[in-house]
Amino acid sequence: MTSELSIVDLFLNASLLVQIIMGLLLFSSVVSWTIIVQKSRLYKSAAFSAREFEAKFWSGIDLNKLYAALAHRRDSLTGLEKVFHSGYGEFMRLRKQEGVSGDAVMDGTQRSMRVTFSREMDDLEGGLSLLATIGSVSPYVGLFGTVWGIMHSFISLGSVKQATLAMVAPGIAEALVATAMGLFAAIPAVIAYNRYSAGLEKLENQYRYFFEEFSGLLHRKAHSKNTATSIPAHTEEEMSAAQGRI
């Protein structure tokens, strides 16, 4: 009896449509777990990289030296490193041009940083919409398979004069497996989506804070009378305020 009602046998004995639905749900679950593992690694790496860069940025290092160090490995930059590299590079380029006002310098600098910031957010957000889709759709797909399986079982009983539980049980069981597989695919996807959405929002806020603070620092330099392109270490007030936030 146990072998007759095993999940494998229920799948093999199910109707073609129910088999397709089960296969689709199994594939969705594999895709979901692949995204979950990848996003877990990505967000941990992004959070660690952001904290490490901000600690270095607010340590009092000369920004020219920081920019030069990042330029040597520009192909491997991530997160805030890219935002800083694009913004500071554009700032230095515009500052060297004659006749460019401080406001024009800042407009170009902030535009460059916004583009890089948006690209980084798109990379971090990639895959979350698919998780949300799997989490919201899978239960209904499984329910459709259940309804179809039960309907198919009762239709097959129409040609039988006397129905017994043994005749109905396999069909109902295979139908309920579809609902179970739908929940199995949906529950981890929903939990992961909610968790990663919160993590993404935290990272986005951290990036925005840095964007605003760095823009303020460059704004003061762009409108200063000193035309030198070097930006010295930050003031003690700036460093203490930033360290408290980090």
Question: Is 128 part of any domain?
Answer: yes
Q: Which domain holds residue 22?
A: 7-76+122-245
> What is the pLDDT confidence band of residue 6, given thresholds at 50, 70 and 90?
low
Q: 3-state secondary structure string, 72-98?
A: CCHHHCCCHHHHHHHHHHHHHHHHCCC
What pLDDT does 170 receive? 66
Residue 139 lies in a domain: yes
Q: Does residue 178 lie in a domain region? A: yes
The CA distance from 8 to 11, in Å, is 5
Instruction: Give the separation between CA 237 and CA 172, rounded to whole angstroms.
Output: 70
pLDDT value at residue 2: 43
For residue 83, tell me if it sits in a domain.
no
**Residue 55 belongs to some domain of the structure:** yes
In a domain, 201, yes or no: yes
Q: How far apart are CA 128 and CA 131, in angstroms?
A: 5
175 within 8 A of 12, measured Cβ to Cβ: no
Count of domains observed in the chain: 1
The answer to whether the CB of 134 falls within 8 A of the CB of 32 is yes
Model confidence pLDDT, tens digit, residues 34-85: 999 999 999 999 999 999 999 888 888 888 899 999 988 888 888 899 999 9
C-alpha gyration radius of the chain:
29
The whole-angstrom separation of Cα 128 and Cα 108 is 31
Would residue 96 count as lying in a domain?
A: no
Enter the tokens of residue 2. Answer: 């146990």
Residue closest to 141 by CA, chosen among 35, 27, 11, 10:
27
What's the whole-number average pLDDT of the chain?
82
24 located within any domain? yes
